[in-house]
Amino acid sequence: MKVIIPPIKSQGIKTKLVPDIAQCIPDNFSGTWIEPFMGTGVVGFNLVVKNAIMCDTNPHLIKFYQTIQSQEITPNIVREYLIQEGQYLLEKGEEYYYLVRTRFNENADPLDFLFLNRAGFNGMIRFNKKGEFNIPFCRKPNRFAQAYITKIVNQVNAISQIIHTKNIEFICQDFEKTIQMAGKDDLIYCDPPYIDRHTDYFNTWSEQDECQLYHLLSQTQSKFILSTWHHNQYRQNHYVEKFWQNFIINKKEHFYHIGAKENNRNPMTEALVRNFESNTDNSFVYDKQIALF
Ligand SMILES: C[S@@+](CC[C@H](N)C(=O)[O-])C[C@H]1O[C@@H](n2cnc3c(N)ncnc32)[C@H](O)[C@@H]1O
């Protein structure tokens, strides 16, 4: 499966899991793809059949895709913006990155969000307690060289085509509301912040949240697939046993690469939990994959 990569990156992006999630979807599925925690959107953009509702509480992600939908942002606009801003970055260096970061924290311009996401350290998204983007510069003043701009513009183009040929609604709201929008023919894909792990302003996740998610997903008439972590070399996610063990669970080893050094590559076993049988259950691949981002 060729996975389409969106223009926004994040440390929790599920690019490498898209083929596994695709394998779980029933062949005849024609309902609405419902995604309460869309993040970069990579899963839904690749797997939507016709209709999707894609939500997140991070308003910057939602606004970015809404402005592509309304055509306030087009591939050409992105190209012109990155050529100009990339030139300023080249001339002024890191001072310019921080100027754009301050401007974004005041005005929340979606193009500045793209700039910071692609020129910030390791393509990370993180907001401080005041809700301000606080990722430092990647320290490459020539970040927006022509080939890199073309790559980003092509990514915007690919996602715009999906947004304009499918029926997708983007909503900034809490997961509870999104799950309640799902009907019996729909499929909910949940990728919440991993409990006990990375947190920031838009990514706090407590036991109470996990418990509420469990109640909502246990009661839904829809099909659901949940991504969570199962274990790593140090510990188990005991919430898998506490909440999810009565559902079908597939596991897969995955490498997260956070930071520049090889020894920061941490193997982690991911779990896909679901409440329905899939016709590919016997052929499900339990393999190792390397996710570098
Ligand atoms: C692990 S990320 C999702 C990554 C996504 N699957 C991808 O591949 O890019 C979790 C997302 O949940 C969002 N989020 C956190 N708390 C939420 C809540 N209470 N309701 C809805 N979204 C929430 C965060 O903003 C973040 O984008």
Q: pLDDT tens-digit profile of 238-263?
A: 999 999 999 999 998 876 655 545 55
Which residue, by CA, sits nearest to atom 16 of ligand 1? 203
Determine the residue type at 279: N
Q: What is the pLDDT confidence band of residue 285, given thresholds at 50, 70 and 90?
A: very low
Please tell me which residue, 284 or 228, carries the higher pLDDT value. Answer: 228
Read off the pLDDT of each residue in 186-210 and give the average, rounded to a whole number: 87
Scanning the chain, the segments in alpha helix (DSSP H) are 18-24, 42-47, 59-69, 75-92, 94-107, 110-119, 146-165, 175-180, 207-219, 238-239
- CATH 1.10.1020.10 intervals, the chain: 75-160
Ligand 1 nearest-atom number relative to CA 10:
9
pLDDT digits (tens, 9 = 90+) for 105-125: 999 999 999 999 999 999 999
Answer whether residue 287 shows pLDDT above 50.
Answer: no
Ligand 1 nearest-atom number relative to CA 40:
9
Residue 94 pLDDT: 97
Percent of the chain at pLDDT > 90 equals 82
Ligand 1 pocket by Cβ (under 6 Å): 10, 12-14, 36-37, 39-40, 42-43, 56-58, 174-175, 191-193, 202-203
Alpha-carbon distance 191 to 189, whole Å?
A: 7
List Cα–Cα distances, 135 to 7, 47, 186, 218, in angstroms. Answer: 17, 30, 36, 37
Alpha-carbon distance 227 to 12, whole Å?
A: 11
Read off the pLDDT of each residue in 62-77 and give the average, rounded to a whole number: 98
What does DSSP say about strands 265-274 and 248-257: parallel, antiparallel, or unpaired?
Answer: antiparallel
Most informative mutation of 14, 16, 56, 200 for ligand 1 (most atoms within 8 A of CB): 56
The residue behind tokens 């659901």 is 224
Q: What is the pLDDT confidence band of residue 282, given thresholds at 50, 70 and 90?
A: low
Architecture of the domain whose range is 75-160: Orthogonal Bundle (1.10)
- Predicted TM-score (pTM) of the model is 0.93
| Assigned token pair, 240 | 């898998």
Alpha-carbon distance 24 to 275, whole Å?
A: 11
Which residue, by CA, sits nearest to atom 18 of ligand 1? 174
Query: Roughly what angle, to the nearest 10 degrees, separates helices 59-69 and 110-119?
Result: 120
Assess contact for 89 and 70: CB atoms under 8 A: no
Residue 281 pLDDT: 65
Which residue, by CA, sits nearest to atom 26 of ligand 1? 39
Q: What is the pLDDT confidence band of residue 291, given thresholds at 50, 70 and 90?
A: very low
Residue 292 pLDDT: 28
- CATH 3.40.50.150 intervals, the chain: 15-57+173-290
Q: Which CATH number fits domain 15-57+173-290: 3.40.50.10190, 3.40.50.720, 3.40.190.10, 3.40.50.150?
A: 3.40.50.150
Answer whether residue 293 shows pLDDT above 50.
Answer: no
How far, in Å, from the CA of 208 to the mean position of ligand 1? 16
Q: What is the pLDDT confidence band of residue 196, given thresholds at 50, 70 and 90?
A: low
Which residue, by CA, sits nearest to atom 15 of ligand 1? 203
Residue 159 pLDDT: 98
Q: What is the pLDDT confidence band of residue 33, given thresholds at 50, 70 and 90?
A: very high
Most informative mutation of 179, 203, 210, 227 for ligand 1 (most atoms within 8 A of CB): 203
pLDDT digits (tens, 9 = 90+) for 150-193: 999 999 999 999 999 999 999 999 999 999 999 999 999 999 99
Helix (H, G, I), strand (E, B) or coil at 4: coil
Q: How many other β-carbons are positioned within 10 Å of the β-carbon of residue 82?
A: 25
How far, in Å, from the CA of 199 to the mean position of ligand 1? 11
Most informative mutation of 37, 60, 155 for ligand 1 (most atoms within 8 A of CB): 37
How far, in Å, from the CA of 213 to the mean position of ligand 1? 13
Alpha-carbon distance 277 to 104, whole Å?
A: 45
